[in-house]
Structure 1
């Protein structure tokens, strides 16, 4: 096969050129995305029922829905929240059960339960969570403009942006919904004996488009319609309510009609100024960089038409992260190619070095083409995987090129040398690549959200490693047969290289002679060396796992965003909430000069949160670490009384929740006591917990209206009518909708009392129209204050309180969880179930899977090696490299006191297993060749095999480590701008995995060069 490829070298070279051209085109055109398009196995369901209390919501909505949904196959956890005005359910499925049919099953179950719900309950709203639909860019409009003018500008820009081909939708935040208020005096209702439903019916019957059929005659056919749609405020005012003779009572006769906005629920500000924000989501599969550029180009063109005092700012620009990672990738490739070129030029000459270096972009582009046809976009995880793969892509090319170089040095023709290299090294190279693929293959089946997030690593590396195998066995030999040249031409150096081939150690170079002397000493006492090595490595592994610095789930990456939430009583008015937010904003903005943009919103959020602030920090190059800024912000607001302020970095990675989550389940009274006990433990000085939250409602009161149904019935008044009268005191009664000429949106028409009458005294003085004439409302309705419950939480059918917290700098999640467990172990109420979630649960799941993946990877590697060597003992010898590499990682980590990061270090150890066995495969293959020549001198066979393979082993190890150097050192050289940066946030992701691979491969390679020969000698000693 190789002879044919070399003979048809023009076709092979042409194919390589096509791969480079098409691969480059695909790389440029492939969509760039921030987050992977992960299907989160979570479905949310909301059933609204305006006016219902949390307690009634639990009985009438949550319980029946909960019982029905729990029967769906694959539901891992069912969380329910009974709230005022409705019920919210969150169903979490196992990823193995989550498919298109699941959503249909949920809809079917909800359809079945509809008859058991109150008639007034709204239709369920069902949503899937899709990360690709999250906003990729926010456009802030800031200016002291009238609200209506700012709203019109926002609507116009929304339409224009949504017309862009890459944009899916635009949501507008900070803009109040328009409404029409029909303001009527309480005395007018009594005077004219009018009920709210009478006005509703009048508007409904006068706001219709009626199709009146068609008229057909001899000259044609015509459609006829009766247009009765409301078009403006004047139409609403002229609607007749009732008539008597020629007298007509219209809305304008009894009420005033105003175009207004809904009551303020909250306020939005950017950098302390009123604003409206356009939240832009892109279409699935579209390029994030192109999409953001399209939006910014449109906004630049629109600036000429905007008022001069309107400022446009950009927030949450996700394309910036992708650009940074792309820069890191491209510069990382250039850096790796240069390092490999240098080391290869020093060891094997310029031509061979160029051939080997060529395998990096070639392997990349083959992998990129495969990703393109698989429909995978260049998301951040794929890009990081490509960076991580750099050091592994030249191993096969080095082995093939180094063997051919030795043959050319010994006098063989370049065509024959590369042909011989492929023939002799085909199985070692194939086995080496297959073992690497074998270790990444099990990672494809990583479950849960973490697995979906991390699965792009094995996919990308498997494809690029396959590309490196193709480059090594097809393109490199063909190019070598054309351009190859021996790296050594001087007779002295040729003599040294020939000495390695012949086994004449005395004529070899000083490094080979020194290695041989040390190896001979080891081989004189092989069992002692093996036992000592195993004992030392095993002992240090036990020490690290027992007394090491600890374990954490995922690496901590410095974020560009800080999230602040303010908790207080829900009973605060919109203005009171905003006053609190303003004070928090002022304190933060006066302290921090490293904030680029501050986006603050007040409102009634979940869990008693009355305000949220998102701080976008300056570029990381020009500011301190986020943790220092966090501490300053916490200090600036810590003395504010009556509110709870949580300040935290934006969580990056697959887990966005707080690392500490504790679920307490049991009876209501026991839950409160248990929660207080946990909170007391966590609130201790220097406990290591910050941003502590619990899901219980803050103590508040509400007014409970009690209707005397007997009196109401005898008066001919329904509870609904009484409710409408009370609504006119509060938010108003919806009496209709209409679509005016100047907008595409439907506008509510609301009946309300004047602002001065919106208080509890009005209810006391209100008269309601009955069959016997006006009747005081106070005779039928009594009200009294009651304790208000805003929300009741349930998990898997049990009433639950959830306590969550972040872990302070210098503490680990595992040790803090143990601290809580030990603190409550003595006198914990057995009636309360305690369940630790968060990072601990994710860590346990990921750790269990990685252990299974490691075992499966080893099994697959053994199958590959047994197939190659057809010898169980030799397979065992090769696999000892896995033991050495794993224990060497623990040994190095113990010395440098490195925390073990479960996800990254776990993947690193698995990847390392596939890389390190390459050394033993080369040694065993050389030993098999030597044993055919020197059957009776085992020691000589072992030494000759070791020195003949030391150069490719050291070169492959060196290139692997050099490829990881930028990530290990967190050093990035930008070859386009000639800038050098250190510790960029993008580099922090992969420090742990790179350190794991580099430390393991360096330490284990040194040992392998002695450990494996010792095992080979022992085998032969045992046989003799």
Structure 2
């Protein structure tokens, strides 16, 4: 204790150090970025390659396989999911969670560079980027204008997009709802025939006149000069003058046989906000960036550019997550301050004003110390960090209470404040260190939770670690120094006599709660074996009752949310105009729901955030923002159930509506993944399982699969033998076919009034396009212009719109959500039972993915984490007490707390949440042992200082002495979490109470688990632990009475 003596002697330096820590903590807290939820950034990388006109089958063969081969060889790759669509392939590469996203992107980019040599020359440059884990943009900027032309609105949006992309923390700013500009040269077939020009000649001439020609340099005696041969098309006027053929009347140019105009491509996407059409910029932040800072920066940039936009352009912001984040942080901070106030009231009421304030100072000190550590680790100030502080708040004063309470008793005996606090630290040092150590040991394994769920939950144990480390420093160092300066026994005479009798007399003679408890305990410890058997029977009864009558298991927990998604699906080859008509009906119904604040609809372009994990027949999705929870009466789930009911009877379309689930992203409730090499078998099994989910199982909704949609595609078959007779070039054939479809991309140029490059395309007019127009096409051959129909015919075949692969094997999925009130875990068990009697076909592998996969992985980890926590605590306890029996006795409170959680869930008929209840049980393991540690340590001290007492008397006396601190530490922990456990968010500072809101619904499972377990285990600990301390001696007495004398002597070492 020399360090403590020196700290007390130099108390000015000690207090200055404490104030420095407080100051740095305040600075760290101010520097932490604010987020609503933890940033879950699993290392996912997306690779995207475009190749115009390539089919999904050819995309797999020519693009996907070379990329897969290089990427799968990388170290740390967990999974490679590839998707091939018409003209596009993309791969999603999942790395081990220990690998940083930036390193993963670099590794994939290098692998793609190695694979580029094997890709087709016509393929565009591969794009490699990190995948966004956000389900929707950080903020959306919308542009609209009643009297603004389409080109002016587009140019305004492109201008803002470029400005926003220059913000450092912005990952992407995607423009939605726009039509791309194009210079279109429409061929006049009559004029083409008049000048006797074939389509092949036309294409060859155009491409040959749009070349970059390096001409080198010229050296003369007058100097060295570069020589330039301009060959690229730079303006739309250059297109008109491209020469095609010499004739008697002069040179025939492209302008003579085509109509050239600058226009827009056919619409492929459409956006609207609250039913009003316009353009939208979806802004996504980088993984490490703050959504609040990004939103503020976007607003500032846009506000600064408003003056430069054309008159009539209206700019608005929707789905700004920064305000939601600020509201959540403010609400959670209010809960922390409320808990601090309640805890302070209890402590002051129990210990007196002076001692209570001394203990209470440890709360802000520990929280600010924790802020320093979390800020240093780069954490944002999100609700997971704040709940870690709230959870630690009830535990962080345990050590200070023990130190202060013991010092108060010694000062009541006449000791000075300095001597009392030094003696208190010397006496309680190891019990306090052991109790804090066991708490940290319980949280330690959670820090190494793998995967997406682990990334999400890791903030909690790290924050608890940081805060409790600060509380230990305060309890053993700063509190004794402050107590030695200001500590004073202000107890009245009656209280001093009470404490004296508790210390040196018989506690059974005391009045009040302590005396009643001591007298009751004295009777119980007389029959320890009966009490032990009764306890075991009660615990086993709870276990079996929970297994029989429990409400079931769920992966996470139902949370109250402010955002959701409405997905609109329809089959058929619908145009964008047809889709707009169908979607407008749904928009009108959704926006009529009174709780809906904003509805942002996107048709085409992969939805709102380019998410590829969507139903194949999705035509649009609508991001819905509800009014804040405190401003509406219905829960978000009830509102979206209402939306589903209102949109259930639209002919020709299917509508699904769901809230965005809180917690780690895991996808739909039920995901069945089928893998096989044989495509036909895989397709048949996918539809068989789809029909089974629809017809064999109740309680499921929104059943979809990823099988290709039914349809046809035209294949142009070339008779190679006949083509060889004519000397036809397949490249010419392909380009000729493009003329009657999307057109041939001749070049691109950048207009003066646009920063975006514009394609120049040539094709036949709409009346001359289509599959039948192929018969009229001619191609150049050595024999002259030959009709393409001479060696080409067309066939209609089933269409394959996309092919998905995982780790090189083709896959399809069947997905479903559980109805309200139906547990996905129950449905999964039903499906597994059905599959035992109806197995999948040979060669098909079936896996349960999504929430079920994450649930099983989390259950397995939490089981191992729980056992590891117990083992770590056992090592610490054996080191402290040097007794296996007492260490196991302390750990018995963990069993009691777990069964207390089960009892609470059983009585309230609440479901067991794998994540939140599981974490609560693991956290309880470190909390509940603290009472046992101090109680058994006091028992050992009483036995050592008063050897004349029997074990029963020593157990009663030690339990009576520790009754007040046990109740006090338990009450502070429970009271801090009780509002959330009851489903209420209480902010006394803001004078606001929200029942079943976002915060309360998220934490109710974890908070209630701790309240149930701690309450139950504390009550049993005060009875069972003294009984178990007496039980070994009573068993010895019974054995002495039963065994013969010679055996008794040999057994116990007595003659």
TM bracket (short chain): over 0.9
8 Å Cα contact 1:438/1:860 also seen in 2? yes
8 Å contact from structure 1 (residues 35, 131) kept in 2: no
What's 1:50 paired with?
52
Pick the aligned partner of 1:263 from 240, 250, 266: 266
1:434 Cα deviation (Å)?
0.5
Higher deviation after alignment, 170-179 or 360-369: 170-179
Deviations 1:805-853 (A, max 9, x none): 1111111111101122223332434524332222111111111111111
What's the CA shift for 1:908? 0.7
Find the counterpart in structure 2 of residue 603 from structure 1. 604
**Contact 1:230–1:739 (Cα < 8 Å) also in 2:** no
Structure 2 counterpart of 1:621: 630
Change in Cα spacing, 1:1016 to 1:904, as seen in structure 2 (3 Å) is: same
Asked if 2 retains the 8 angstrom alpha-carbon contact of 1:132 and 1:284, the reply is: no
TM-aligned CA deviation for residue 727 of structure 1:
1.3
Pair 1:922 & 2:931 matched? no
Picking from 130, 135, 138, the partner of 1:136 is: 138
2:549 paired with 1:536: no
1:759 equivalent among 761, 765, 770? 770
- Aligned-partner Cα distance in 2 for 1:1010–1:914: 20
Q: Which residue is 2:977 aligned to?
A: 964
Q: What is the deviation of 1:1003?
A: 0.7
| Structure 1 pair 935–973 and aligned structure 2 pair: CA distance change class (3 A) | same
Aligned ranges 1:643-722 → 2 under 5 Å: 643-666=653-676, 667-684=678-695, 687-722=698-733
- Is 1:791 aligned with 2:793? no
- CA deviations 1:655-709 (Å, max 9, x no partner) are 2410100123344444444334433332249811111111112211122222233
Q: Which of 8, 11, 14 lines up with 2:13 in the alignment? A: 11
Written as runs of structure 1 = structure 2, the 5 A alignment for 1:219-238 is: 230-238=233-241
Structure 2 unmatched ranges of 5 or more: 607-611, 1038-1055
1:103-182 correspondence runs (5 A) = 120-122=122-124, 124-131=126-133, 135-144=137-146, 145-164=148-167, 166-182=169-185
Q: Is the 8 A contact 2:563 2:660 kept in 1?
A: yes
Instruction: Say if 1:281 and 1:521 are closer, same or farther in 2 by CA, change over 3 A.
Output: same
Compare 289-298 and 982-991 and name the one that shifted more: 289-298
Structure 1 partner of 2:967: 954
Q: Is the 8 A contact 1:133 1:282 kept in 2?
A: no
| Counterpart position of 1:894 | 906
Contact residue 73 and residue 97 of structure 1 kept, 8 A: no
The change in CA–CA distance for 1:233 and 1:134 in structure 2 (over 3 A counts) is same
Among residues 994, 999, 1003, which one is paired with 1:986 in the alignment? 999
Q: Give 1:862's match in structure 2, choosing from 869, 874, 884.
A: 874
Q: Could you say which residue in structure 1 is the equivalent of 2:478? A: 475
Aligned equivalent of 2:834, options 802, 823, 833: 823
Contact between 1:588 and 1:633, CA under 8 Å: does it hold in 2? Answer: yes
Q: Is the 8 A contact 2:184 2:260 kept in 1?
A: yes
Distance 1:589 1:160, change over 3 A: same
Q: What is aligned with 1:811?
A: 822
The match for 2:283 is 280
Query: What do residues 497-528 of structure 1 show as CA deviations (whole Å, max 9, x unaligned)?
Result: 22212233265341011101110111011111
291-300 vs 418-427, which moves further: 291-300
Structure-2 separation of matches of 1:182 and 1:839 = 52
CA distance change for structure 1 residues 909 and 294 in 2, over 3 Å: closer, same or farther? same
How much has 1:55 moved relative to structure 2?
3.7
RMSD of equivalent CA atoms: 2.9
Q: Distance in 1 between matches of 2:987 and 2:307?
A: 36
Q: Which residue does the alignment assign to 2:1053?
A: none
CA shift in 2, pair 1:21/1:841, >3 Å = same
Matches within 5 A, 1:124-523: 124-131=126-133, 135-144=137-146, 145-164=148-167, 166-190=169-193, 191-195=195-199, 199=203, 202=206, 205=209, 208=212, 213=217, 230-241=233-244, 247-283=250-286, 285-303=288-306, 306=309, 309-488=312-491, 490-505=492-507, 508-523=510-525
Q: 1:1009 to 1:753 in 2, by over 3 A?
A: same
| CA spacing shift, 1:65–1:197, aligned 2, 3 Å | farther
Q: Please state how far the C-alpha of 1:923 moved relative to its aligned partner.
A: 0.6
Deviation string 1:766-791 (CA, Å, 9 cap, x unpaired) is: 34444444433333332232221212
What is the CA–CA distance in structure 1 between the aligned matches of 2:861 and 2:1000, rounded to whole Å? 26
Kindly indicate whether residue 847 of structure 2 is the aligned counterpart of residue 835 of structure 1. Answer: yes
Please state how far the C-alpha of 1:102 moved relative to its aligned partner: 5.9
Q: Structure 1, residues 16-67: CA drift from partner, whole Å, max 9, x if none?
A: 2222222112211212234544442434444444333334444555556556
Query: Aligned in 2, Cα 1:216/1:984: closer, same or farther, shift over 3 Å?
Result: farther
Task: Tell me the secondary structure at the aligned position of residue 499 of structure 1.
Answer: helix
With the length of structure 1 as denominator, give the TM-score of the two structures.
Answer: 0.94
Q: Offset at 1:170? A: 2.4
Following the alignment from structure 2 to structure 1, what is the Cα–Cα distance between the partners of residues 548 and 98? 35
Deviation per CA, 1:896-942, whole angstroms, max 9, x where unpaired?
22211011111111110101110011111111211122213222211
Confirm or deny: 8 A CA contact 2:45 2:104 kept in the other structure.
Answer: no
Shift in alpha-carbon separation, 1:246–1:10, aligned structure 2, 3 A: farther
> How many Å apart are 1:432 and its aligned residue?
0.7
CA contact (8 A) 2:176 2:269 kept: no
How far apart are 1:993 and its partner, in Å? 0.8
Residues of 1 paired with 2:832 and 2:203: CA distance?
Answer: 62
Aligned residues: 1021
Mapped partners of 2:802, 2:134: distance in 1: 30
Assess, with a 3 A threshold, how the Cα gap between structure 1 residues 365 and 885 changes in structure 2: closer, same or farther: same
Contact 2:978/2:1008 (8 A) holds in 1: no
Once the two structures are superposed, what CA deviation does each residue of 1:372-394 show, in whole Å capped at 9, x if it has no partner? 22222324432332233222222
Which residue is equivalent to 1:801? 812
Question: Is the Cα contact below 8 Å between 2:244 and 2:253 reproduced in 1?
Answer: yes
Deviates more, 1:342-351 or 1:411-420: 411-420
The superposition leaves residues 210-239 of structure 1 with CA deviations (integer Å, 9 ceiling, x where unpaired) of 685487989x98777666664432233334
Q: Which runs of 5+ in 1 are unaligned?
A: none
1:943-964: CA deviation from partner (whole Å, max 9, x where unpaired) = 1111111111111000001111
Residue 732 (structure 1) aligned to one of 734, 737, 743: 743
Quote the Cα distance in structure 2 between the aligned partners of 1:593 and 1:24.
42
Q: Within 1, Cα distance between the matches of 2:221 and 2:1000? A: 80
- Give 1:850's aligned residue: 862
Q: Judge which range, 383-392 or 722-731, deviates more.
A: 383-392
Distance in 2 separating the partners of 1:185 and 1:152: 31
Deviations 1:77-126 (A, max 9, x none): 44343433344444444436788776666566656666666565555544
Moved more, 53-62 or 168-177: 53-62
Partner of 2:1023: 1010
Task: State the 1:639 CA deviation.
Answer: 1.6
Cα separation, 1, equivalents of 2:55 and 2:213: 38
Q: Is the 8 A contact 2:502 2:961 kept in 1?
A: yes
Matched residues in 2 for 1:788 and 1:825: separation?
33
Provide the C-alpha distance between the structure 1 equivalents of 2:620 and 2:140, rounded to a whole number of angstroms.
19
Select the residue among 929, 937, 944 that pairs with 2:957: 944
SS state of the match for residue 786, structure 1? Answer: strand
Per-residue CA deviations over 1:737-757 (Å, capped at 9, x if unaligned) read 112223332221111222332
1:247 deviation in Å? 3.8
